[in-house]
Chains A and B, each alone.
Chain A
Amino acid sequence: MHDKAPNLKMKILILTDSIANPRSIPVNSAVTLEQTYPYILRNIFKDATFWQLSCGYMTVESLANQAIPYLSDWQPEFIIIHAGINDCRPEAFSELQKSILQQLTGRFFRFVKRHVYNPRLIRIRNKSRVSKKSFRKTLNKLNLIFDTSKVLFIEISANEKYEAARPGVMKKMKEYNDIASEVFSDGFIPVCNSLNEASAFNQDNLHINSEGHKIIAQSLIKSITNTC
């Protein structure tokens, strides 16, 4: 795969939550920086200029709010978005409610925390940090502002076992993926099945191991070279 990719002068913006970052834990599925797919892309497209924002727990909306004012004039040829699980996954409490609970309980929050992430409570409350309407709004906005860029949206993915920790997450993922696929159409990159078939999720059933990074890198290289 490495020999076939052309050296193209282009600008690539990568917006992700923690999923594109290296990980040292769990040890048996640790991922080094060199094994992450953004790093693999840098090695393949050596003439390209990259700008990457990968930050844990961030929603697509918060990533977009960073990219829009700083990078809208940069006009990248490609924008890779790999986030959305933080937008859609079911929660028992909203961010505001969590913050209030934390303020009220102080150092005793660690005792309350297990209830905040209690699967039964999550199933009952079933809140998402970002509504479907707001998620769609953000994607539409990105499309309009970066109107000369090709957006590649990587499917929001998790192993089915993640359902035990976050009841209802599979349904939510499908709903939000449907929105992304509608907004970006041919820029939507399905990866969930390949990741599951290759056992590419780590023990938290959410983040990916080095094999997962390879799979995503291959999908992106294919999409970018087919578009150029």
Chain B
Amino acid sequence: MEQPENIDILLKEIISDVLEMSIMEIDNSASVRSLCNWKGIKHRLIIERIEKEFDIQFSIDERDTLISYKIIRATIIAHKR
């Protein structure tokens, strides 16, 4: 199982890369509400990159829940356990 610290690093890299932001701007409270450019196609791209990089598959219903850094992180950890 991947360590939570490694998940944090990779997850922040993915989000900052897709949103074209500095990784320093992505903190644990980041969400679709706090980051104005986290929406639409970029949100889909984030989800797709996460599935690819972490080698997991979210269910369709689960995808709708992934609206914040904390939720995404928890979902990845739960998938990996």
The reply to whether the CB of A223 lies closer than 8 angstroms to some CB of chain B is no
Q: How distant is the Cα of A144 from the Cα of B65 in the complex, in angstroms?
A: 14
Docked-complex contact B61 and A144, CB < 8 angstroms: no
A69 touches B65 (CB 8 A): yes
> Quick check: which of A26-34, A80-88, A132-140 contacts chain B, the rest being far away?
A132-140
Q: Are B70 and A145 in contact (CB under 8 A)?
A: yes
> By the criterion CB–CB under 8 Å, are B78 and A138 in contact?
yes
Q: How many A residues, CB 8 Å from partner? A: 14
Question: Which residues of chain B are near A68, meaning CB under 8 Å?
Answer: 65, 71
**A65 and B74 in contact, given A137-B79, A137-B81, A140-B81 (Cβ under 8 angstroms):** no
The answer to the question of B25 belonging to the interface, with a C-beta cut-off of 8 Å to chain A, is no
Contact-size category for B: 10 to 19
Q: Is B20 an interface residue, CB under 8 A from the partner?
A: no
B62 at the interface (CB under 8 A from A): yes
Interface string of A115-156 (1 = CB under 8 A from B): 000000000000000000000111011001100000000000
Considering only CB atoms, which chain A residue lies closest to B63 in the complex? A65
Contact yes or no, B70 A72, CB < 8 A? yes
Partner of B74, one of A61, A69, A136, A145: A145
Asked whether, in the complex, the Cβ of A61 is within 8 Å of the Cβ of B79, the reply is no
> In the bound complex, do residue B68 and residue A144 qualify as a contact, i.e. CB atoms below 8 Å apart?
no
Whether B74 contacts A144 by the Cβ 8 Å rule is yes
- Interface flag for B67 (CB, 8 Å): yes
* B77 at the A interface (CB under 8 A): yes
Nearest Cβ distance between residue A72 and chain B, in whole angstroms?
Answer: 6
Taking the complex as formed, is A62 at the interface, i.e. its CB lies under 8 A from any CB of chain B?
yes
Contact of A65 among B61, B68, B81 (CB under 8 A): B61
Chain B residues near A136 (CB, 8 Å)? 81
User: How far is it, in angstroms, between the C-alpha of A144 and the C-alpha of B68 when the chains are bound?
Assistant: 13
Contacts of B65 on A, CB cut-off 8 Å? Answer: 64-65, 68-69
In the bound complex, do residue B62 and residue A65 qualify as a contact, i.e. CB atoms below 8 Å apart? yes
In the bound complex, what is the Cα–Cα distance between A136 and B62 (angstroms)? Answer: 15
Contacts of B61 in A (CB 8 A): 61-62, 65
Task: Given A61-B61, A62-B61, A65-B62, answer yes or no on A140-B68 (Cβ-Cβ < 8 Å).
Answer: no
12 contacts between A and B (CB under 8 A): A61-B59, A62-B61, A65-B65, A69-B64, A69-B71, A72-B68, A72-B71, A136-B81, A138-B78, A140-B77, A141-B75, A145-B70
Please give 8 more A-B residue pairs, beta carbons under 8 A apart, in addition to A72-B70, A141-B74. A61-B59, A72-B68, A140-B77, A140-B78, A141-B75, A144-B74, A144-B78, A145-B70
Residues of A within 8 A of B (CB): 61-62, 64-65, 68-69, 72, 136-138, 140-141, 144-145
